[in-house]
Homo-oligomer: A and B are copies of this chain.
Amino acid sequence: MTLILALDFGGTKLAAAVVNVDSRKWLGYERRLSPAKADASTDLEIMRSLIYSVLQGTKPDAIGVSFGGPVDASTGTVRLSHHVVGWENIPLKHLLEDEFGVPVGVDNDANVAALGEHRFGAGQGYDSLFYITVSTGVGGGWILNGKPWRGAGGMAGEIGHIVVDPVGPVCLCGKRGCVERLASGPYIAQNAREILETEPHRRGGLRDGEVLRGLVGGNLTLLTGQLVAEAATAGDDLAKEVLHKAAWALGVGIGNVANLMNPQRFVLGGGVTKAGKDFWQVVRQVAQETALPEVDFEIVSAILGDDAPLWGGVAIASGILKIVG
């Protein structure tokens, strides 16, 4: 029996799981929210307790780690976290190797999730694919020739910050009309809120923002991307318009990527992709219109959900064992 330990440092949540290398069923699995005032030390402390809980006295043969932030995958050093303080230049691979005495691989979550979907999910059998997560942010991970492509500086995959509307709203990154600015959950909520706040009278009627207002009892600060999706499904025109723009942005981004890299598949995960049929229909149609007619591709839903980074960790650790052994 060869045991793999997979870890997911997710920014807002932490997870650890153990699996036999040839099995698809977790032997142990623990997931916990990161506390509100977490720092790198508390995250590591919580993760340590999850690890010992899932290992139950056994010893892993290799460890694969997904980290929610920029990582130097060649050294396994975390560069920083955008969500949790104190992660600057933490040598996560070495810390874990010292503690457990087994080989460790560390990469950022988008790359690891892409690998997870490629090996065990919606990307099985596809040697070139782009995995996109549309959630709090919009990120991506490449599989080319069956292997992760990280870019020269480990920064590849940033579809969230390609510009699709140069006169669109300003993103946190400083540019206008990035995919993330139009399609991430928090920005979808913000875009709906801004229309409701700035055009309360111009628009009207039950189907135009009223469902959305109703869902939050008039308190617009409670709006979320998910509520916008629910209101759209219920027929709210304003919600539909905001969601349509999000799907359009994602579709243009995907079509542009198709023209540029011509992968076989796009695998889409993250909460926003659960926004319903209309959303998917617009994404697919706009992507097709944006790509050249000769460029073929499929856009499919990720199937591993929140476990994609853990399964990607399993793939990383298995890869290390093959090289070592």
Contact = CB atoms under 8 A, between A and B. Distances in A.
Given A144-B149, A163-B164, A262 B292 contact: no
A163 B295 CA distance: 15
A262 B163 contact: no
Interface residues of A, number: 44
Given A154-B262, A167-B167, A175-B289, 12 more contacts: A70-B294, A140-B260, A144-B144, A151-B262, A153-B294, A161-B259, A161-B292, A162-B259, A163-B255, A260-B260, A260-B261, A261-B261
B165 A166 contact: yes
A128 interface: yes
A208 B167 CA distance: 26
Interface of A: 70, 127-128, 140, 142, 144-145, 149-159, 161-167, 173, 175, 252, 255-257, 259-264, 289-290, 292, 294-297
Determine the main DSSP class of A at the interface with B. Answer: loop
Nearest to A149: B144
A127 B153 CA distance: 12
Contacts of A161: 259, 292
Contacts of A70: 294
B163 A256 contact: yes
Given A155-B294, A159-B259, A292-B158, A252 B173 contact: no
Contacts of A290: 163, 175
Contacts of A164: 163, 166
Contact of A156 (B150, B167, B252, B262): B262
A156 B294 contact: no
